[in-house]
Structure 1
Amino acid sequence: MMIIFYTLLGLTLLSIGSFVYVLLHERRSMWAGTTLVSSIILLNMWILDSLIVVDTNYPNSHSIIQWLVVLMMLLVVFLTLAFILTLIVMFFYNGVKILFREGARLTNFLSLGMGVVVLAVIFAYPWLGRFNTTPWFRFLYLFLSLVIFYLIAIMMMYTLTSWLNLLNWHPKKLDYVVVLGAGLRGKEVAPLLASRIKRGIEIYHQNPGSKLIMSGGQGPDEEIPESHAMAHYAESCGVPASEIIIEDQSKTTRENIKFSHRLMKANSRFCIVTNSYHVYRALVLAKRQGLACIGYGAKTKWYFTLNAFVREFIAYLVITKKMQCGIIASFGVLTALMAGLYYLGL
């Protein structure tokens, strides 16, 4: 009994230590979310085992321990069901709202689509499993189950890691504040871009001596480069033109970061400012270029944030497609091996 207790305690402390290490050294890694989840799970397992140990050593407390265990289990079930229900309602509510507010563009169906996918995974997919009467279907169902479980897990890790990267505790003084561009309305910044610029100005004021870099080229449907409109807006907010650096050649987030970094002095500290849902992917792109930086998120309307966050997660999967395809392929190999052993009668 005590072997399990001390093993769980050791694993919990190891997981918490790993989480703190990742948080302090490279929180842009998905290990940040992974170690956080593992720490929470192991901590709860250790608490449960501690209650069992107390119950074993102190029989008089059996009824109290029993009630505590039941309450813990009920709480877990309640929170899980509440989370799933809330998630479904949010996806459908925000999915309909964004279609009314922003129009029926393909990308605006992502939130609604995710709601349908969640319902399908909860209800339709288990029902499909009833047809696994033939061996080949069982192995196909196993492969699909592994892929679905993996995608759910990685989305959870992505979400947690994204949130962790929005928190900046006692950051070091910054030399540059890079504000990423977004679409314009004629020659004027749209509300989404305005929120980024305002957040960037706020960070700029918190770091005396820093410079603002407005990053954004000219899209095919834009009258002027985004960075020019951004600089004009920042000046209207009271930022001197001499404090603003313009980067007007980039077309993508990757280029925003790459070209902006070229305009900085050597060994400079900088941050990336964009909307909250976009921060983590921008940081991943910076990490892949070998650039150390932190990110700050600007406020966005919630109905738009949820839909955009789904889009950002899909974009993350595309960025890491080699790794994702490798992991899914390993599931395929594992399933094929199991099927081979089955049909060979081993």
Structure 2
Amino acid sequence: MNRLKKYIIYILIVLGGGIAFIWGLSFYIIDTTSDEIYSKISDLPISNTVIVLGASVHSDGKLSPILRDRVDTALDIYRSGRAKQFLLSGDNRRNDYDEVSAMKNYLLERDVPENLIFTDPAGLDTYDSMYRSDYIYKIPNAIVVTQKFHLPRTLFIAESLGLNYIGFPAKHKYYETENNLIRREKLANLKAMWEILTKQTPENMGEENPVNRF
């Protein structure tokens, strides 16, 4: 019985330590990136590019509410003159699923010139999107748009890669999956830390395609 009690106590200590580490890492990432997140478009410095991170699209090509809010926010930033062009980074691993084309079509329908829209179909996760934005697209500085709960990890990765990026939260609405996404974000921080510490290189790199320089 004593051995069983010790085993249970050991398991509880390990679990407690793991949970404490996950929460501590989350608070650290939020704290170290807070100065790079803006709340008013009018306060944003003028940047070369606004980067929109992908999210799910429907089978008919329409943007999910989360993705539509990201693109609409980026469009507001562009129209305000705070960013000169777009990089749309998302998942296009399958012929029947294409986040970047859906975003691009959405912007084209709203009269954004095609030559100001760059697309990254291999932005399979946040780390890949940030890494490729520099390695492939040579973006000198950028405003990254995604939901508020996602921005700290995104900017933490960008800063770790030496990128001159700031963040702006997408228009806030309540999403049915938001609570699950927030919980998942804390676990995703562990993955981000591993990718940074091990200096991961995305599998799909391709040729350089520098954005416009203004």
Aligned to 2:67: 193
More deviation in 132-141 or 286-295?
132-141
Q: CA RMSD of the aligned region, Å?
A: 3.4
- Does structure 1 residue 184 correspond to structure 2 residue 57? yes
Alignment coverage as a number of residue pairs: 191
- Does structure 1 residue 207 correspond to structure 2 residue 78? no
Aligned to 1:243: 116
Identity of aligned residues (%): 21
How much does 1:149 deviate?
4.2
Change (3 A) 1:312 1:208: closer
* TM-score when normalising by structure 1: 0.47
Of structures 1 and 2, the larger Rg is shown by: 1
Aligned to 1:297: 169
Query: CA–CA distance in 1 between the matches of 2:196 and 2:111?
Result: 46
Partner residue of 1:219 out of 81, 93, 107: 93
How much does 1:234 deviate?
0.8
Change (3 A) 1:227 1:135: closer
Write the deviation string for residues 150-195 of structure 1: whole angstroms up to 9, x where unpaired.
4444444445556655335743210111111122212232222111
Change (3 A) 1:264 1:301: same
Relative contact order (alpha carbons < 8 A, sep ≥ 6): 1 or 2 greater?
Answer: 2
2:143 and 2:166 in contact (8 A); partners too: yes
Partner residue of 1:167 out of 38, 42, 52: 38
Aligned to 2:211: none
Q: Where do 5+ consecutive residues of structure 1 fail to align?
A: 1-130, 325-346
Query: CA–CA distance in 1 between the matches of 2:161 and 2:195?
Result: 17
Aligned to 2:191: 318
- Does structure 1 residue 280 correspond to structure 2 residue 152? yes
Matches within 5 A, 1:1-346: 136=6, 140=10, 145-158=16-29, 165-167=36-38, 170-186=43-59, 187-207=61-81, 210-220=84-94, 223=96, 225-261=98-134, 262-264=136-138, 268-298=140-170, 299-321=172-194
Change (3 A) 1:151 1:231: closer
Write the deviation string for residues 56-86 of structure 1: whole angstroms up to 9, x where unpaired.
xxxxxxxxxxxxxxxxxxxxxxxxxxxxxxx
1:277 and 1:305 in contact (8 A); partners too: no
